[in-house]
């Protein structure tokens, strides 16, 4: 079900939902330019829903019954990545290559990122809501991640690596930045076996929405 507040926000922005033959939801506007309106995206995150592109390039919105989060106070790196972090094998940068990061994530074998998602989040980045954290090695982008910041919450979207442990270092850099900026929520959408190694846990939708409400109402700045 599409949350009522998200529907209303869509109508305020001149876009409306329609169900397709496969029961997916597409958002339409007479002037649609191939991107999801920024305010619709942001309102979705505030309500606990997020978009993903399907195989046919339609956009569906999700609000999992069980939500994955990484508690910032219990985050930890696997041993090999912890050694790479201690040795400073990578340089961590923020927002220096957002487009390259999201497009690298889109080139993974299994991806839900299409051109509409790329354009939508590049626009969010341009207006200061989407951010990338990157791991660089010898002047080259080795890995990274991107997500959306609202209030004191960060909503991780995807990550990639070209060098072993690079995405893990980017995640550690993200957590360090969130702690520095006094964020309280790191949302991973779902809990996966890969995320378990960092201390990720699963919470109910009801518990998540309580955490979310507190986080998005805080006055925080991601970039500092």
DSSP 137-175: ETTEEEEEEEEEEETTEEEEEEEEESSTTHHHHHHHHHH
| Beta carbons within 10 angstroms of residue 28's beta carbon | 11
pLDDT digits 0-9 by tens, 119-151 = 999 999 999 999 999 999 999 999 999 999 999
Task: Decide if 6 contacts 60 (C-beta within 8 A).
Answer: no
- CATH classification (class only), 67-216: alpha beta
Task: Decide if 61 contacts 51 (C-beta within 8 A).
Answer: yes
d(CA 17, CA 28): 6
Task: Decide if 144 contacts 159 (C-beta within 8 A).
Answer: yes
Domain extent listing, the chain: 4-64, 67-216
The dihedral of CA 179, 199, 170, 45: what is its sign? negative
Q: Are strands 25-28 and 16-19 parallel, antiparallel or unpaired?
A: antiparallel
Residue 32 has pLDDT above 50, yes or no: no
pLDDT digits 0-9 by tens, 143-177 = 999 999 999 999 999 999 999 999 999 999 999 99
pLDDT digits 0-9 by tens, 35-60 = 888 988 998 899 888 988 888 887 88
């Amino acid at each position: 079900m599409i949350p009522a507040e998200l529907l209303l926000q869509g109508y305020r922005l001149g876009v409306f939902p329609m169900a397709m033959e496969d029961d997916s939801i597409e958002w339409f506007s007479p002037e649609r330019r191939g991107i999801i309106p920024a305010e619709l995206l942001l309102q979705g995150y505030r309500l606990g829903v997020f978009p993903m592109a399907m195989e046919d390039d339609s956009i569906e919105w999700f609000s999992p019954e069980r939500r994955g989060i990484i508690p910032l106070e219990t985050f930890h790196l696997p041993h090999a990545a912890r050694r790479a972090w201690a040795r400073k094998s990578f340089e961590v940068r923020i927002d220096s290559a957002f487009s390259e990061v999201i497009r690298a994530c889109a080139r993974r074998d299994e991806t839900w990122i299409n051109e509409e998602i790329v354009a939508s989040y590049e626009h969010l980045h341009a207006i200061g809501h989407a951010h990338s954290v990157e791991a660089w090695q010898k002047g080259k982008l080795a890995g990274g991640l991107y997500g959306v910041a609202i209030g004191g919450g960060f909503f991780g979207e995807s990550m990639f690596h070209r060098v072993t442990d690079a995405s893990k270092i980017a995640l550690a850099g993200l957590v360090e930045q969130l702690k520095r900026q006094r964020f309280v929520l790191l949302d991973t959408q779902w809990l996966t076996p890969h995320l378990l190694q960092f201390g990720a846990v699963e919470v109910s939708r009801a518990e998540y929405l309580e955490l979310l409400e507190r986080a998005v109402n805080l006055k925080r700045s991601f970039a500092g």
